[in-house]
A = this chain, B = another copy of it.
Amino acid sequence: MFVDALKTIWSDSGFAALAWKECIMIGVAFFLIYLAIVKKFEPLLLLPIAFGMLLVNLPLSGLMNEPAEGSSGPGGLLHYLYMGVKLGIYPSLIFLGIGAMTDFGPLIARPSSLFMGAGAQFGIFAAFIIASALGFDPQEASSIGIIGGADGPTAIYLTTRLAPDLLPAIAIAAYSYMALIPMIQPPLMRLITTKKEREIKMEQLREVSKLEKICFPIIVSVFCILLLPSVAPLIGMLMLGNLFRESGVVERLSETAQNALINIVTIFLGVTVGATAVADRFLRLQTLMIIGLGLLAFMFSTVGGLLIGKLMCWLSGGKINPLIGSAGVSAVPMAARVSQIEGQKANKSNYLLMHAMGPNVAGVIGSAVAAGILLALFG
């Protein structure tokens, strides 16, 4: 009888229901955990994503189950937490925290950085073209392209709106490539810029007054949302967070937006985005294509930023180091650090970090604008 009972438990257990597909997914989750912990690939998001992927691929856990209709039984834990992704709440709240952490000073001091931030959105549309050519529909192609925005919350927000099926692949690709920026960008930077350009030292940035910093988020919100209303949840919250920061009168709120709130939301977002990666949805050729296209998107964005950088270098009579252009992909502050490092390789006394922060934060705005356009066209 005991053996019978054990057999029953076994047949009700996940071991019996485990298919090879789930095993592969569990392996992928392990690999992502490895990348997050050992390689420190954007662990704040990749670790929760990977763990969510692990949990949801252990069969029969029911963590993402909707509540059964007509029954009073509740749905799965992650089903409820996922609501915040589905309804677009989490990405906006993360942007609130990011806004409160971001100093737009370097951008205000040299507003021409905005052009590099615009150029570095090129990868979004390059990937869009290729994805379209490969047969993805426009919604999917947009979501794939946005990986090139190098901005996690924007990518997640757009993808939940346009192509929710691709969410896990796109989120993972976006965060992985952001972590790989120090490997992806330098070869392209050396390829496109000349040694002489890389050696350019830039003038120190002027100081930005508090008043400018306070007006900036208000102006950006008003103008961007008026022009592209669909971008309101992203730009609006980003700029609200920044206004909390710069106003200096609501430090409590700024502090909470940067800590408790963003951390709680990050946990929920990460785990539930990972939990959308069920085997049937993830183990497709599509996923591989997305990963490949994501890399292309990052590369084209880098090139776009660098080319605008070169143009501005030429227009300014050699005052602007084109290396800061690649920071326009956003991936704050990783991409700016890469500019700094490459600059110093060319010229030991070259300090580009603060100069690269301008295009870097401009890239965040640029990606959100691009997302708004794609939403307006295909939403």
Contacts and interface: CB of A to CB of B under 8 A. Distances in A.
Interface in A51-103: 51, 54-55, 58-63, 74-77, 80-81, 86-89, 92, 96
A152 B350 CA distance: 53
Contacts of A86: 74
Interface stretch (A227-235, A310-318, A325-333, A355-363): A227-235
Contacts of A373: 9
A358 to B, nearest CB: 24
A218 B30 contact: yes
Chain A contact residues: helix, strand, loop or mixed: helix
Given A9-B376, A47-B244, A244-B47, A226 B271 contact: no
A240 interface: yes
B271 A240 contact: yes
A31 interface: no
A252 interface: yes
Given A26-B222, A43-B249, A256-B260, 15 more contacts: A9-B227, A12-B376, A13-B226, A14-B229, A36-B247, A47-B247, A47-B253, A51-B240, A58-B229, A61-B236, A81-B89, A253-B263, A257-B263, A260-B260, A261-B264
Interface of A: 9, 12-15, 18, 26, 30, 33, 36-37, 40, 43-44, 47-48, 51, 54-55, 58-63, 74-77, 80-81, 86-89, 92, 96, 214, 218, 221-222, 225-230, 232-233, 236-237, 240, 243-244, 247-250, 252-253, 255-257, 259-261, 263-264, 266-267, 271, 373, 376
16 contacts: A9-B227, A13-B228, A13-B229, A36-B247, A47-B249, A48-B250, A48-B253, A58-B225, A58-B232, A61-B230, A62-B230, A63-B232, A74-B87, A77-B89, A80-B87, A261-B267
